[in-house]
């Protein structure tokens, strides 16, 4: 009888929590906002490994990168998810911009082609996401076509959002501007590079997982 009960409860609770174990959380945003820096910070903190390379040259991430089973423990709670870092979304990709960073013409053109391919791939993945962290550069104007299009489409797909306003270590950072641009969503100011406010970010991440 006890065995039977145990089996029954395992099936019920197993079924209840199965979805939560396979959560897919995507990192989206414009190029150079710090998506990979934040993804690296989380992966390094909880798995000990990086997920991808970072660079000052925009569109460094040109393929979707996945880290399976990232387990975060915070204040006695545990959250397990699949972390999906995506290429930066942009409306214009111009190889000449990459040449300003010292890239040769041929390499710059190749990067532009791969970046365009990356944008398509990032958008294709959107329907698979359970929740999305939108990483924005808090030194930049948040009222851009890219930001508004990404957020609008996530809302239309009913995917829960958390906005990470990155680069708060920089003087020009203005988290309040991002908060007033997107007042319906939780905004957490962080510096992925310096690890500033990362505990608050993890707390928000747990709140986000409850919305799924």
Instruction: List residues near another protein by CB under 8 A.
Output: 89-96, 105, 108-109, 112-113, 115-117, 119-120, 123, 126-127, 145-146, 149-150, 153
Q: What is the dihedral of CA 174, 75, 40, 189, to 10 degrees?
A: 0
Q: Which is nearer to another protein, 150 or 161 (CB)?
A: 150
Smallest distance from another protein to CB 152, Å: 8
Q: Which is nearer to another protein, 106 or 172 (CB)?
A: 106
Q: Which is nearer to another protein, 64 or 80 (CB)?
A: 64
What the block records as the tokens of 51 is: 């997920």
DSSP-assigned letter for residue 202: H
Q: Which is nearer to another protein, 47 or 144 (CB)?
A: 144
Mode of pairing for the β-strands spanning 77-85 and 65-74: antiparallel
Contacts by 174-177, CB closer than 8 A, 24 or more apart: 174/138, 174/139, 175/138, 177/138, 177/141, 177/142
Smallest distance from another protein to CB 45, Å: 32
Smallest distance from another protein to CB 117, Å: 5
Q: Would you say 56 and 103 are in contact if contact means Cβ atoms under 8 Å apart? A: no
Smallest distance from another protein to CB 193, Å: 27
């Amino acid at each position: 009888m006890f065995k039977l009960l145990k089996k029954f409860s395992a099936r019920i609770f197993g079924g209840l929590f199965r979805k939560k174990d396979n959560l897919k959380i995507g990192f989206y945003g414009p190029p150079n906002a710090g998506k990979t820096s934040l993804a690296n910070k989380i992966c390094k903190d909880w798995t000990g490994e990086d997920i991808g390379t970072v660079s000052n040259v925009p569109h460094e991430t040109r393929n979707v990168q996945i880290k399976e089973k990232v387990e975060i423990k915070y204040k006695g709670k545990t959250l397990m998810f699949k972390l999906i870092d995506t290429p930066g979304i942009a409306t214009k990709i111009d190889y000449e911009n990459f040449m300003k960073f010292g890239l040769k013409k041929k390499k710059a053109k190749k990067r532009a082609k791969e970046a365009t391919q990356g944008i398509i791939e990032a958008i294709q993945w959107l329907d698979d996401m359970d929740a999305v962290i939108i990483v924005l550069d808090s030194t930049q104007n948040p009222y851009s076509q890219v930001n508004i299009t990404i957020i609008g489409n996530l809302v239309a797909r009913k995917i829960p959002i958390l906005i990470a306003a990155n680069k708060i270590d920089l003087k020009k950072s203005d988290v309040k501007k991002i908060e007033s641009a997107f007042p319906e969503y939780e905004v957490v100011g962080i510096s992925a590079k310096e690890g500033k406010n990362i505990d608050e970010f993890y707390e928000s991440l747990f709140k986000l997982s409850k919305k799924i």
